[in-house]
Amino acid sequence: MLRKVARGALSLRTAVRAVIAPSAAAGRAGAWALGSALLLALSPAAARSPVPSAPLESATVTVAELPAQGREVFRLIRAGGPFAHDKDGRVFGNRERLLPAQARGYYREYTVDTPGARNRGARRIVCGGEPRRPDRCYYTADHYASFRAIVE
């Protein structure tokens, strides 16, 4: 039922009614608990839990296909900087769990400037491994909602 709601095939209201109505016979506390559990499961934090439709390695982008700002950041990563933003090079926690699982501290993130943006924007390069010689780098244009492996 939760998957149908996540896909938009079932409304949240219908799902809540389907869970709460049968449990109402068990008493208000049971109905409240089940309804609360369903709402928590459908919260924005739970919605960010990824269910990739294709393996990450099949989603790739070449260095040449990166925006000009991304190519420059990729070059700076290999050179060890200097970077434009204080947060560049800091540990990326992979909380979205879209990248392959690794120990904390393995991934680092770098800002790819977005022309016209007043802040750091949504574009990033995330690299894993040694800072100057990463094992693998990934590009996201949508602030970690999806990643593409960078291939040279």
pLDDT of residue 53: 41
Q: Is 3 helix (H, G, I), strand (E, B) or coil?
A: helix
Q: Which residues belong to the active site?
A: 109, 143
| 8 A C-beta contact, residue 23 and residue 31 | yes
pTM above 0.85, yes or no: no
Please state the rounded mean pLDDT for residues 53-57. 50
Q: Which residues pair with 129 in a beta bridge?
A: 134
Please state the rounded mean pLDDT for residues 12-35. 51
- Indicate the pLDDT class of residue 48, thresholds 50, 70 and 90: very low
Would you give the distance in Å from CA 35 to the centre of its chain? Answer: 27
Name residue 87's amino acid.
K
